[in-house]
Each structure stands twice: as C-alpha cells, then as structure tokens.
C-alpha cells in the first residue's frame, strides 16, 4: 500500500486554485455517461449528491433513515465557521487556517486545512442563497459569535439549530435533483459491503431495511459520507443509528483507516442520569460564549448553587487559561472538567458534573436576549433535567462526540482504493487530533459542494474503467458474503441481547480508551475486546428473520463491526506514545497536566491496512510537515 497524499506544488495559498486548473475535466455531454454512488445523506452526502447531479452525473444516494432530513447533521447546534471577518476583529483565511492546525494539535495536513479555510467563505454565500436563515445583526448583516479555540467571532449560526437549517438547504438542493431525475434516492437502505473490481471501487451491496432484500448497485465512483464512529463507546452524543459499517467494510476491502484513536470528548453534555440511558444529549459549545464554567472551591460541597457565594466559586477555565477563558478548545475544557471532578469538586449525582452558569449574562443582557440566542437549547435542557437554566446553572460533563479518525484520503479526498472517495466526518483529513467547534459543518459542506465536484471529475476523466454490471463475479461474491453474515447472526440463538454486548464494549472503551489512556489500560482492553467479540459470535440473540424489518438484526451487524473497530482504536492508541488533542496518554503530559506531544517520533498520520481476519493490521505512516505553522506546544493561557 502506498500513501500518496497528492498535495500540489506551489505556495499554500495557490495550491487549490492551481490544482483545480491542472485537473482533468469531463465535458458536459459525457458527464451523463457516468454513475456516482453517494452513501449518506447528511451535509457531506446531500451536498455532494446535489452538486454532482447539477453538473450532469447520474447519482444514486443511499441512507438508512426514512428521509435524508433525518441524517445526524441535524443535531449540530452551535454554528459553522467561515473566515468572512464580518466583525472586523482580525479574522482572515490565514487565521482560520492557523487556529485549525493549532486546535488540532499539529496533527493535520497544512494543505488540506488551508483549502478548508479558503473554501469556507464560499459556503456561507451558497447557504444564504439557498435560504438558510442565519441570525442577523440589527442592520441586516449576518451575525457571528465566538467559539472555542479562537479569539475572533467567525461562527455563523441559526439560533441553536444550525445543523438542521443547513441540512434543509442541502436537502432542498438534493430534492430538486431527485425531481429532475439526476438523483435516485434510496432511503431505508443500508450499505453492507463495498465491491472492488480490478483494484477500483465499482459499487456497493445493500440491504433493504424494510423487506430484507439484498441487492447490488454499480457505479464508476463511490463516495462514502457516513459520519463518525463515536457510538463505539455506546454512550455518545451521536444518534443511535450512527455506525461504522460502511467505512469498516471499505477498510476490509483495502482502504486504509487513519488515526482511529482520535476521538473527541465534548465538554458540555448533559450528565448521564442512570444505567438505563442509551445515549447522551449535547448542549452546544455556543453556550460557552455566555455561560461561565465553575465548581465550588470546597470539595464535596452539596449546597445548591445559589447558596454558594461568589468568593467560594472556582471559575477554573478563566483561572487556568486567562487568554481564552471559557472558550478554550474542547479537548482542554473536557480534561479540565474531568480533573476537577476527579479531585472531588464535581457537582450533581456522583460528583460527575460542573456548572455552566448564565446568571451574569442574564444580568448583563437580559433574559430576552439569552432566549433569542439559545432558547431552544434551554428548553431542551429543561425537558431532560426538569431544571430551569434561566434560574439555576446547567450541569454538564464531557462525553464522546466527534471522531477525527476515519478512512485515509489524499488531497482529492480519494482513499487508498481508487474510485472510493470519502467526505465529511467519515474521512480523517482536516481536523487533526482535535476538532475546533463549528468546523464539522464547514468540512462536510466544503467536501460536498466545493471539492468533490472537481476531484470526482478528475478521477473519471483519467481512470480507465472497464464496463461492469451486477452480474460480475465480484458483485456475486460480495452479495454472498452479506447473505452469509446475515444468516450467521440470525442462527446463533444465544442468551444475550445485542445492546448488552454494546453496553459492555462501550464501558471498556470509555474506561480504558476514553478521556485518558495509559499503557496498562490499553493492553487490558486489547485482551478483553477479542474475548467479548468471541462471546458475541457464540451467545448473541437476534430474534426475527432477515426478510423483514428487523432492527435487532441491523444493530447486531453494526455492533459486530464496532467490536472489530474497537480493537483497532486501542491498538492505534497504544502505539501512539504521546499526547495530542483528544488522545491523552497519561504517561505523556506536562507538569501542569496538559498534553505533551512527541514531534520527533509521532508527527505523522497513522494509516492502518487490513491484513486479514486474525492477523495484525499493518501500520503505514504519512509524515506531516509544517512549513507555514511552526510546531509549538499549544498554549491557551
């Protein structure tokens, strides 16, 4: 396997423009001859499918939800970054580029990140033209707010439902093409395998989730835009359906998996309320603009927050990081909250929480202003906790959120398998070891609207593809594998539910590969996960049949994949003997407890190649060079 990032030559600010000119084109009449499969209909998938169909390609788009509108992108709350500098506060493409590389703890490619910052300004214009109702200032200009990891206000938002509004914009563009015949939409359809013909991705095998029918779809190029794998931890802020199956199938067909141990912990999640809970609910990072984070100065203080005077409160983020205060990046805010709770200063049940307090903001701006900015978030919090955050502080605690790891891609967003492109959270490319808030929506739309339309065309114009159809032996073999796996799951007839295995796996991952990791814990996890996986295949109970709507079967397939991915995550975390961003190795920290990188030995992308069942995966390294942002120990003090 060769890792060729295909980064263009020339100054960084000219790379993308020069590359677009040098790429081969497909003329408009010929575009109709090519079929592109898009798996996923969130921001990355919907924007890619709509954009490619507008260009004239024949597009088939698949999602397991009943409508593209239910993609997990709707859950994004706080905003989308763009270097417009509407606030005239010193922002620029260069500053967004710098903040993103630094925020990712110097573990991302400079060229990709600069392009992301460059394209960000176009995203906002396109979304406004689509009718996305961004918040506006009194004069009618688009409003901005600040976010973690930046000292400028560059985040565009639509109250606390930015992801939903952006997805509706992409959805209407997608539906326009569905109506025109440019896109064939396949809802309630799950991809279960990737088909590779002569070394190139040529299609997928899917299962109709209503009838159970297994079928093949042929294409000239395949795009995976299937999101992240945070649900490997069982409890996360992801939708329950979010899974790793599409990218894991691609990995087992030859696509390298990069940096799987880079998972992000979000600092402002509603704390877990009990063992019954199946997912966690996020409170937007935008709340840290006006909410102040604090804990009591006295350990184990059980007094209600309104009875704790100001002098007995520790606003620890403001104390530890005076330059950024409550707006430090997510990994730093999360570890600080964990440290406070571990030392006995936590609040709420079990001491696993810190306060996010809006009293000062309400006093300064008035309750109505806070309602206008965050009303739906406050309502969500009150419905879940039965506490009114206008009257008492929110309680929050870190939780698994976004995954920075994913399939390895080059500058053209193509994996190590020719023809297989990967967009949004499903690839590893832009976020490094920690994602800055409001950058997920930015990357998904940049990939779909502005990058893939060029790079897919270049691939199709240069690849020499033979004509294949669904009768090809590779499709028959993949279909047989999917059918055999389905029957195997249904035939086990064991004693344990799928959820019980998933919950146990999640606890192993959170305890030994969660907010902090160490060598002994990771080695224990690597011993325990294969044992749990073996028990799963001997003792899981999947009721029903494969020729009907069967959610237990859906979950079983996804958990089986999580049980394999979990081992790769821990293996990657064990080999990376440094701390960087969301990957915190306890053996590698500064005297102040901050992440301590080892640039001499680990300034690279770790790309893992599947070597077969039972064999150790092969590690490939893509060196990272920093020409424009010089390596330095991160400081937000």
Residue 330 known to be catalytic = yes
Answer for the pair 452, 223: CB distance below 8 angstroms, yes or no. Answer: yes
3-state secondary structure of 342: helix
Give the strand order in the sheet containing 292-296. 263-269, 394-403, 354-357, 292-296, 313-314
Q: Which is it for strands 145-146 and 153-156: parallel, antiparallel or unpaired?
A: antiparallel
Strand pairing partners for 325? none
3-state secondary structure of 129: helix
For residue 509 the two structure tokens come to 């991952």
Q: Which pLDDT score, from 0 to 100, does residue 429 have?
A: 86
Q: Which pLDDT score, from 0 to 100, does residue 195 have?
A: 98
CA 276, 573, 40 angle in degrees (round to 5)? 60
Answer for the pair 117, 629: CB distance below 8 angstroms, yes or no. Answer: no
Non-local (6+) Cβ contacts of 79 within 8 A are: 145, 147, 155, 156, 157, 162, 286, 437, 438, 441
Answer for the pair 354, 344: CB distance below 8 angstroms, yes or no. Answer: no
Measured in whole angstroms, the distance separating CA 144 from the mean position of its chain's CA atoms is: 23
Q: Give one DSSP letter per residue of 403-459, joined into a string.
A: E--EE---TTSB-SSTTEEE-GGGB-SSSTTSPPTT-HHHHHHIIIIIIHHHHHHHH
Distances (CA, A) of 209 to 15, 187, 189: 43, 9, 6
What is the H or E stretch that residue 193 is in? Answer: strand 189-197
For residue 278 the two structure tokens come to 């199946």
Closest CA to 209 of 62, 15, 350: 62
3-state secondary structure of 223: strand
Closest CA to 99 of 82, 86, 121: 82
SS3 content of the chain, % helix, strand, coil (to 5): 40, 15, 40
DSSP state of 462: H
What is the H or E stretch that residue 615 is in? Answer: none
Number of H helices, E strands in the chain: 18, 20
**pTM recorded for the entire structure:** 0.97
For residue 610 the two structure tokens come to 């599947």
For residue 248 the two structure tokens come to 């894991």
- d(CA 148, CA 127) in angstroms, rounded, equals 23
Distances (CA, A) of 247 to 70, 109, 308: 20, 21, 49
DSSP state of 307: G
Please state, as a whole number, how many other Cβ atoms lie within 10 Å of the Cβ of residue 441: 27
- d(CA 122, CA 129) in angstroms, rounded, equals 11
Q: Which pLDDT score, from 0 to 100, does residue 273 have?
A: 87
Q: Which pLDDT score, from 0 to 100, does residue 276 have?
A: 85
Catalytic residue among 330, 373, 395, 533: 330
Non-local (6+) Cβ contacts of 67 within 8 A are: 187
For residue 234 the two structure tokens come to 């069982």
- d(CA 391, CA 409) in angstroms, rounded, equals 48
Residues in the chain predicted with pLDDT less than 50, given as ranges, are none
Q: What are phi and psi of 69, to 5 degrees?
A: -70, -15
């Amino acid at each position: 396997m060769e890792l060729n990032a295909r980064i263009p030559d020339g100054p960084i600010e000219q790379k993308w423009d020069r590359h677009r000119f040098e790429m081969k084109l497909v003329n408009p009449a010929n575009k109709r001859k090519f079929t592109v499969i898009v798996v996923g209909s969130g921001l990355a998938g919907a924007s890619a499918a709509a954009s490619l169909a507008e260009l004239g390609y024949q597009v088939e788009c698949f999602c397991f939800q009943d409508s593209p509108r239910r993609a997990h992108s709707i859950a994004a709350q706080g905003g989308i970054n763009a270097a417009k500098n509407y606030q005239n506060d010193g922002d620029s493409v260069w500053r967004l580029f710098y903040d993103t590389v630094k925020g990712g703890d110097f573990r991302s490619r400079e060229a990709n990140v600069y392009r992301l910052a460059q394209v960000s300004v176009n995203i906002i214009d396109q979304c406004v033209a689509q009718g996305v109702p961004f918040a506006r200032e009194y004069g009618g200009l688009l409003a901005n707010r600040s976010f973690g990891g930046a000292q400028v206000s560059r985040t565009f938002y639509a109250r606390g439902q930015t992801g939903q509004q952006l997805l509706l914009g992409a959805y209407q563009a997608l539906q326009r093409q569905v109506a025109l015949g440019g896109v064939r939409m396949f809802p309630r359809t799950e991809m279960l395998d990737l088909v590779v013909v002569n070394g190139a991705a040529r299609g997928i095998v899917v299962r109709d989730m209503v009838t159970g029918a297994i079928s093949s779809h042929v294409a000239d190029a395949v795009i995976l835009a299937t999101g992240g794998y945070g649900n490997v931890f069982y409890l996360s802020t992801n939708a329950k359906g979010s899974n790793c199956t599409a990218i894991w199938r691609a990995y087992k067909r030859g696509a390298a998996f990069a940096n799987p141990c880079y998972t992000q912990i979000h600092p402002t999640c509603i704390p877990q309320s009990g063992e019954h809970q199946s997912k966690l609910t996020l409170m937007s990072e935008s709340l840290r603009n006006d909410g102040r984070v604090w804990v009591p100065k006295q350990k184990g203080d059980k007094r209600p927050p309104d009875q704790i005077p100001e002098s007995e409160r520790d606003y620890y983020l403001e104390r530890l990081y005076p330059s950024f205060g409550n707006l430090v990046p997510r990994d730093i805010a999360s570890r600080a909250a964990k440290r406070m709770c571990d030392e006995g200063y936590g609040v709420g049940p079990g001491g696993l929480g810190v306060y996010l307090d809006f009293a000062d903001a309400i006093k300064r701006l008035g309750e109505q202003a806070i309602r206008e900015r965050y009303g739906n978030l406050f309502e969500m919090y009150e419905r879940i906790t039965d506490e009114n955050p206008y009257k008492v502080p929110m309680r929050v605690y870190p939780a698994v959120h976004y995954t920075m790891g994913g399939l390895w891609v080059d500058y053209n967003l193509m994996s190590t398998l020719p023809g297989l492109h990967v967009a949004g959270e499903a690839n590893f490319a832009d976020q490094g070891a920690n994602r800055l808030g409001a950058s997920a929506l930015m990357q998904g739309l940049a990939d779909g609207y502005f990058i893939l339309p060029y790079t897919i065309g270049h691939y199709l114009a240069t690849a020499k593809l033979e004509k294949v159809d669904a009768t090809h032996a590779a499709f028959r073999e993949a279909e047989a594998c999917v059918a055999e796996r389905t029957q195997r799951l249904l035939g086990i007839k064991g004693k344990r539910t799928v959820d019980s295995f998933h919950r146990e796996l999640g606890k192993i991952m959170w305890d030994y590969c969660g907010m902090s990791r160490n060598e002994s814990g990771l080695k224990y996890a690597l011993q325990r996960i294969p044992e749990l996986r073996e028990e799963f295949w001997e003792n899981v109970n999947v009721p029903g049949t494969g020729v009907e709507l069967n959610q237990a079967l859906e979950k079983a397939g996804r958990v089986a994949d999580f049980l394999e991915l979990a081992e790769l995550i821990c293996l990657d975390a064990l080999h990376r003997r440094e701390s960087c961003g969301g990957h915190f190795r306890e053996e590698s920290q500064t005297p102040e407890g901050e992440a301590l990188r080892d640039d001499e030995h680990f300034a690279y992308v770790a790309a893992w190649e599947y070597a077969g069942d039972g064999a150790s995966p092969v590690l490939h390294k893509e060196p990272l060079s920093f020409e424009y942002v010089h390596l330095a120990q991160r400081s937000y003090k």
